[in-house]
Amino acid sequence: MTDYHSRRLGLSFASVGAYLGWVYLGKELVYEFGQTKEEENIRGIVSNSYSHWTRTMGYLSPISIESFREKAREVELSVIRLPEGEVPVFVLVLLEKGQSLPTRVWEDLSNQVLTFCATGISLREKNLLDFETITEPIRKRMEKAFQGDTKSGVIAFFHLQDLSPFFKPMGVIKSQEILREVTATLHKETRENEFNFQLNPRSYFLFCPGETLDGANHRFGSLYFPSKHLILDYKLKIFPIDGDILADDAKFSSIFLENF
């Protein structure tokens, strides 16, 4: 596990307002964001509830499981199941009691966690999540977009400059602001029928059903990512996509493998 991946995931938890967070790959705790006096209690909850969660819990539908006081604050522990392959992935997040996160925020956190699992866990040679695990939920969402009158679209790929040199000198707070601004810029460009996702710490994709190559070049050709006193550099690639490409594993996978 690299420090970069751990730090990046920690910033993701912090950016959604989480006091603490945990990632479970199956029954194994693979990541902790912070510590709490309720640690053993939380481990017990996961151990006792794992089978039930695996059978009954839907994807990206957070469930509140317990409330308690943490450092004079009323906090609430929630669990969410991520879209995965053969190995269930659960994320536990400790938020201020009564705080709720919009679906798009859960999706962003999901992308970060699955990226962490795909890259970080594979570095430990466990290989519990493979490349297909990351891309299959994306493929399914795209297929739904092509079920009506829309039969084609584009994927815009943004490969950002390496931001890790900024994180240490800027500190956690300002580093969070950079990452939030990157995401905010993409959200502003994402129309109602589109969605964006992050495949790894520098690779962002925006799926635009119904869009053409010329239209996408016009929309994104002059897009820039402002962040404080920086203008972040990036490479842009745009790929056409339709039902035939989605149905062809080799063609669909090549778009992501070449830009992973």
Confidence class for position 124, pLDDT limits 50, 70, 90:
very low
Based on the fold, state whether residues 38 and 121 are members of the same structural domain.
yes
Based on the fold, state whether residues 138 and 125 are members of the same structural domain.
no
What are the pLDDT digits (tens) for 40-67? 888 899 989 998 998 899 888 899 988 8
Report how far Cα 178 is from the mean position of its chain's Cα atoms.
16
How many C-alpha atoms does 240 have within 13 Å on its Cβ side? Answer: 8
Based on the fold, state whether residues 219 and 140 are members of the same structural domain.
yes
Does 110 score more than 90 pLDDT? no
Based on the fold, state whether residues 25 and 118 are members of the same structural domain.
yes
Based on the fold, state whether residues 125 and 138 are members of the same structural domain.
no
Based on the fold, state whether residues 103 and 85 are members of the same structural domain.
yes
What share of the chain in percent tops pLDDT 90? 21
Lowest mean pLDDT among 34-48, 60-74, 174-188, 236-250: 174-188
CB 36 within 8 Å of CB 70: yes
State residue 125's pLDDT score: 38
State residue 207's pLDDT score: 93
What are the pLDDT digits (tens) for 129-169? 455 666 777 888 899 889 888 999 999 999 888 766 766 66
Distance from C-alpha of 39 to C-alpha of 148, rounded to nearest angstrom: 48
State residue 168's pLDDT score: 60
Residue where a domain stops, chosen among 129, 145, 179: 129
Matching residue, tokens 């956690």: 172
CATH no. for residue 219? 3.30.70.270
Based on the fold, state whether residues 67 and 175 are members of the same structural domain.
no
Q: How many domains does the chain have?
A: 2
Residue where a domain stops, chosen among 129, 162, 194: 129
What share of the chain in percent tops pLDDT 70? 80
Question: What is the token pair recorded at 115?
Answer: 């990226």
Matching residue, tokens 């995931």: 9
State residue 200's pLDDT score: 64
Expressed as residue numbers, the domain containing 159 is 134-257
Based on the fold, state whether residues 60 and 109 are members of the same structural domain.
yes
According to DSSP, the β-strands at 89-96 and 73-82 are antiparallel
Based on the fold, state whether residues 79 and 107 are members of the same structural domain.
yes
- The neighbouring-strand residues paired with 255 are none
Based on the fold, state whether residues 11 and 111 are members of the same structural domain.
yes
- pTM reported for the whole predicted model: 0.52
State residue 234's pLDDT score: 86
What are the pLDDT digits (tens) for 190-202? 888 898 887 666 7
Based on the fold, state whether residues 155 and 104 are members of the same structural domain.
no
Does 128 score more than 60 pLDDT? no
Q: Cα torsion for 138, 87, 258, 202, to the nearest 10°?
A: 80
What are the pLDDT digits (tens) for 164-185? 676 666 665 566 677 777 778 8
What are the pLDDT digits (tens) for 200-230? 667 788 999 999 999 999 999 888 887 766 7
Based on the fold, state whether residues 87 and 159 are members of the same structural domain.
no
CATH no. for residue 92? 3.30.450
Q: For residue 76, give Cα distances in angstroms to 20, 59, 97.
A: 10, 20, 5
State residue 119's pLDDT score: 60
Residue where a domain stops, chosen among 76, 105, 129: 129
